[in-house]
Structure formats: C-alpha cells, structure tokens
Amino acid sequence: MEHDAPIRVAAPGDAPGLARAHVTSWRMAYRGVLPAAYLARLSVTQLDAWWRQVVVGAARRGDRVHVAGGGEDVTAFSYFGGARGGGARGGEGEIYMLYVHPLATGLGLGSRLMEAALDDLAARGLESCVVGVLEANTRARAFYARWGFAPDGGTRVDRLGGGRHVVLRYRRALGAEAARRR
C-alpha cells in the first residue's frame, strides 16, 4: 500500500475500490463493536452500486469524495460536504466518512484526507465542521481530537446490526479561527 498515493476527487470508476475499502475498513474498525454477523453481511457488490451513485451525484449536491489510490486499489477515502440535519447549523461542513484500509493505517493517508477535506470546506467559506463518531470507536475519537475536533454535546442513536449505538457529534472551527488555534 502506497503512503504517498495522491489524494484526488473520486471518479465513477473508483466505486469498486471504494466499496472494497469501505467493507474492509468497517470490518476492522467495528470488530467487537458491531455484531460479527452484520459485518460479515456487508456486501462489496451492493456498496459498489451505492458508491457509484454517490460519486456521480456528489458534485450536484456539493459533496466531495476523495480517494487515495484508485480504481480497484483505493486505500483510503473521505466523503464530506455541507452538514446534514440533527443540529447542523448554517455555514457548517460535515465529514460523513473517512476510512483507511487496515493495511494502510499508520501511513498518514487519514491525515492527508482530513487536511484535504478541511481545506476544501474552509475554501467554501464554511465556519465549522462536524463529524459523527460511534462512542465505542475510541481510535476514531482520538484521531478527530488530534485534528482539533471536540465533542459538542450532540448525540444520536443509530441502529446498526440489530443494536442501538450512540454516535457523538464532534465539532471544530475552520478557516482563520482554526488557523489561530494551531
């Protein structure tokens, strides 16, 4: 896995790699958090079709999908855009997903994707960014904290794999205010 793979906007041909990286990273990140049977049922074929739709419609919605690698060899990806419901404020972006293939963790791809996403959102003039993270996903929570995100008290409960899982909302400033905090 290349640590220096360029970060770029995804194309429809990246859907198979996005699906594969999505399934593989979820199975690793949520092992012991979500039921094993649920993780085993994740389908690369179904997610390939879903990612194809997401990538094709992203620009129309003002969203972005960034990838490291490409085609069937996507090693990491982020999906972000304007903040969606559940307490979202105007002038706010959201990181919907950011995952790194387990064999590529520790190579800096997650940080490069985060930097690209935050730069993109700040360039749009957005003032802050939110991300939802499973309360039980301590590794992701630590990653977001290193990037200046902090819990803002917002929560929701997602139903995944037949269970109810608390999702914490983390928030950070963008643009000039964030730069002053670095």
* Concatenated DSSP letters of 41-58: H--HHHHHHHHHHHHHHH
Task: Taking residues 36-47, report their average pLDDT.
Answer: 95
Rounded distance between C-alpha atoms, residue 168 and residue 110, angstroms: 20
Rounded distance between C-alpha atoms, residue 56 and residue 9, angstroms: 11
The two most distant CA atoms of the chain are separated, in Å, by: 46
Cβ neighbours for 179, distance < 8 A, ≥ 6 positions apart: none
146 alpha-carbon distance from chain centroid: 15
Rounded distance between C-alpha atoms, residue 136 and residue 165, angstroms: 8
**Structure confidence at residue 105 (pLDDT):** 87
pTM for the model stands at: 0.90
Q: Residue 112: pLDDT above 90?
A: yes
pLDDT band, very low/low/confident/very high, at 39 (cuts 50, 70, 90): very high
C-alpha dist (Å) from residue 106 to 1, 3, 30, 67, 109: 11, 9, 18, 16, 8
3-class secondary structure, 169 = strand
CATH of the domain spanning 7-181: 3.40.630.30
Q: Residue 161: pLDDT above 80?
A: yes
- Check: CB of residue 39 under 8 Å from CB of residue 161: yes
For the chain, the structural domain boundaries read 7-181
Task: Taking residues 125-154, report their average pLDDT.
Answer: 95
Q: Which of 10, 159, 180 is nearest to 81 (CA)?
A: 10
Task: Taking residues 24-37, report their average pLDDT.
Answer: 93
Mean pLDDT of the chain: 89
C-alpha dist (Å) from residue 86 to 82, 83, 131: 13, 9, 11
